[in-house]
Amino acid sequence: MKKSAVGSVFALLLISAVVLPVFLSSYQWPGTARDHLELKGVEESGATNLVSAIYLGYRAYDTLGETIVLLVAVTGTIGILKKAGAVIEDRHSFALPGEMRRANYMRTHLLEAVTSKLGPIVLLFGFYVMLYGHLSPGGGFQGGVVVASGIVFLALGSSGNASSALIRQDILGRIEAVAFLMLLILSISGIFTGEGFLDNPLKHYSSLPAAFIIVLNIIIGLKVGAGIGVMCIIMLGKE
Amino acid sequence: MSPEGLAFAPVLLPLLGAAIVFLAKAFFRGRGAVIVEYTGVFTGLYLPWLALIFLFPVVINGSAVTGVIGHWNSGVGISYRFDGLAWMVNVLGYTLGGAAWLHSLSSGPKGPSFSAIFLIQTAALGATIMTADLFNLFVSLEVLGISSYILVSSSEKPGAALASFSYLMVSSTAMVFFLLGLFGLYRITGSLSYEGIAAGLGHLDGNALATAVISLSLLVGAIAIRVAVMPLYGWLPDAHALAPHAVSAVLSGVLIKTPLFALSRILILFPIGKEAGQLMSYAGAATALLAVIIALSQKDVKRLLAYHSISQIGYIVCTWGAAVAVGIGTKAGTLLMAAAFLHALFHAVFKGLLFLSIGSSVDAAGERDVYKLRGAVSILKRSGDKAAIAFFGFLVGALSISAIPPFNGFTSKTAMTYLLKYYGQYGSVLYWILTIAGAGTAASFIKLSRIYWPDKEKISTVFPERTDSGPVLPGVIAIIFLSVLCILGGIFTPLIFKTVTALLSGKSLTMGDGYSFFSTGNLLKSLYTAGAGALVFLLATGNAGSALLKKVRERPRSFQGLFVSYALAAAAMAGWLLYHAAP
């Protein structure tokens, strides 16, 4: 035990000594990329929010990769969850004797009332974040996660009977699959319209320069929302 | 279709295939789901061959498809480069990927989730090798990583989840340092594309030069973990041994080599990159020898194979490093790089074959201990593999890896050792280290072949019936396919070698005037090595030998130890480079 602690401390010190000069460098930041983005970013991409311009414009290919990382992570988690099953040892609950139920014994009427009322509002906010990503902070990933929270709220507030199709695993799985296919088709379509891979295929069809970014934001948002939503619903366990 | 569209086909078709497989999972049930799933797999794993065929004339004369994705300004967009190297690594990936997926129909795991993630992994391989942008390389490696963690954990074996978790922890730790190195380079050059970084490195003063060197060593260290070079190999044996057989084959055959070849694109940007290659070359030789000793000590058949993957990657890293050290653009560099790639390709084929055939055999027997399992041939016959194809597959693979002519391992190992001796620094030392490692390899496969020996001593346990009732045929087809490739690869090596050099440099080169792989000297050397291997095997089975090997097998291993070795390796690389960079 002691020996391993010494080893760890030694390794940490050593690696810090190696890494430190990278941070202490007094070399002047080169500014070409920054200047280009500042001067030409909005004009080239059509997105006022430069973050969107970067992650869905200049570096959309990286974003495609990160979307896939999330997709694989969610698929893998669901696989492991289904294999392992959920075992909760702690039987502690805030539920009053009258509202206690066998499954989902930790839920209360209060929780259900609040989450079921909040759910639609959170969903709406999620779509707002998704749709306005090119103008203000936000975008597909952020909006998608908010949508997923809305879905979790709806599921928590459903009190046993599925009040919304949005909390059904199969429906969410379908939304996710279709959104992923759409994302790929959109990325590839440029090759066939003569623009090239991940180049804006809507260039000639839309007067809105940010149209491609908006569409990508919506699709990524749907995919992320459905993926994380379905994972959370599986984690909540069966009704 | 434009060359640009074609160049992305090896990345996009598997992704499209994965999307189709997800559709199968979400919308279809029963027979329909299977048909749609297979359509997706066909689109993703077999259709890209069409694109590769069309791309061959584009890259064969040494030219490349390059550009910026989305046609942005090259300073801010993502650059890519599809050249001969990318083409070859894709061929490697699709050859083994196609065979391994076929085998998974027999040996599992089945189902759309597995197929989809398998396809995504294949796509990530293509993306890793064709990127010319440092951050995009990071993203590609992340996709590659996460799909492999999931695939490893998809095995039903106990411990697979833990192995996958330790793989994840190690890889993620390495990627943190990769990101730091990336940051360092971006900090001083203001660019993420390889071209931009090379341009930025041109005018740096002393202070920034140190940052560049340290950043480079962080990048190299992180990739060395992925490649499992000594001493950074600790995560690999568990992950490769416990993964499903098809996944093991791809992990060992393709996954650990792709980052290595991607790294050569980075190293050529740096004036100091040659020195980094030199150190990697020495580390590779050490890896080849040490890993084979550990392999010889293993009990579990797949763990033994996993250590051989480390050993064989050592050969590749050694030759690859020597190529980088003499300069990839030079004739010697091209020859060495071609030999390294040749072995990477041949290793993928024979190691894939070994994992699949051994996997079929141990599945049929329900026993993985090399000391307990005997008579696997008759077990195979009982399990439905009537002609014991898996045994013949093992035989071809074992003869290949032990460098017995005319199988493919013989020619690629001959090419590597010959060229190292001729062109490499301390070449004759490297030559002997690799030759001794070759004897160890032969010994180790004599040991492994014992599982097929008749069960005279009746030490085998009672075997359970085959529980996993997948059809035997796809697995057998995969094994036959790879076996044939092993033999064809060996016979047509001169032609393949010429093509590889042409893909690398635009000019086709040969090993040397009048050089013959099947010369008497080379054949005799192979005979001596095999003889030495038999001797080592006898020594290892003796009392003193087995006591020593037991110690090697039971040496303590920990995540913490791995982290310490990472710190040491990164510091050693940084120190070595700073020492050589000093004016």
Taking only the tens place, the pLDDT of each residue in B128-140 is 999 999 999 999 9
Range of the domain at B288: 3-456+469-554+561-581
Q: Give A-chain residues touching B150 at CB under 8 angstroms.
A: 72-73, 75-76, 79
Please state the ipTM of this predicted complex. Answer: 0.92
Nearest chain A residue (CA) to B119: A72
Chain B: give the shortest CA distance to residue A91, in Å.
28
Q: From residue B573, give the alpha-carbon distance in Å to each of A140, A168, B209, B276, B279.
A: 41, 53, 15, 7, 8
In a domain? residue B304? yes
Q: Give the Cα separation of B166 and B146 in Å (integer).
A: 12
Question: How many domains does chain B fold into?
Answer: 1
Band (pLDDT 50/70/90 cuts) for residue B329 is confident
Choosing among A14, A32, A35, A61, which should be mutated to test the B contact, i.e. which has the most B CBs within 10 A?
A61
> What are phi and psi for residue B47, nearest 5 degrees?
-65, -35
Nearest chain B residue (CA) to A68: B143
**Bridge partners, B65 (sequence order):** B82
Nearest chain A residue (CA) to B556: A4
In a domain? residue B412? yes
**Does the distance separating the beta carbons of A196 and B70 come in below 8 Å?**
yes
**Does the distance separating the beta carbons of A57 and B146 come in below 8 Å?**
no
pLDDT above 90 as % of chain B:
59
In a domain? residue B445? yes
**Does the distance separating the beta carbons of B187 and A25 come in below 8 Å?**
yes
Token pair for A220: 């990524």
> Which three-class secondary structure state does DSSP give residue B500?
helix
Residue B572 has pLDDT above 60, yes or no: yes
Q: Give B-chain residues touching A36 at CB under 8 angstroms.
A: 73, 75-76
Where would I find the H helices in B366-407? 376-382, 389-401
**Does the distance separating the beta carbons of A72 and B120 come in below 8 Å?**
yes
For A67-125, what is each residue's pLDDT tens digit? Answer: 999 999 999 988 888 776 655 556 667 777 777 776 667 778 888 889 989 999 999 99
* Residue from the list B4, B127, B150 with its beta carbon closest to the beta carbon of A76: B150
Q: Cβ of A39 under 8 Å from any chain B Cβ?
A: no
Beta strand extents in A52-191 (DSSP E only): none
Closest to A188 measured CA to CA, from B12, B68, B72: B12
Name the pTM for this structure. 0.94
Token pair for A194: 């003569």
Q: Cβ of A29 under 8 Å from any chain B Cβ?
A: yes
**Does the distance separating the beta carbons of A18 and B571 come in below 8 Å?**
yes
For B37-84, what is each residue's pLDDT tens digit? Answer: 999 999 999 999 999 999 999 998 888 999 999 888 888 899 999 999
In a domain? residue B432? yes
By 3-state DSSP, what share of chain B in percent is helix, strand and coil, each rounded to 5?
75, 0, 20
Q: Which residue has the tokens 């707002």?
A: A128
Q: Give A-chain residues touching B8 at CB under 8 angstroms.
A: 191, 197
Residue A43 burial class via C-beta count within 10 angstroms: exposed 0-12, middle 13-18, buried 19 and up: exposed
* Residue from the list B78, B143, B187 with its beta carbon closest to the beta carbon of A69: B143
A 10 A CB-CB count for B583 gives: 4
For B422-476, what is each residue's pLDDT tens digit? Answer: 888 888 899 999 999 999 999 999 999 988 888 766 555 555 555 555 688 888 9
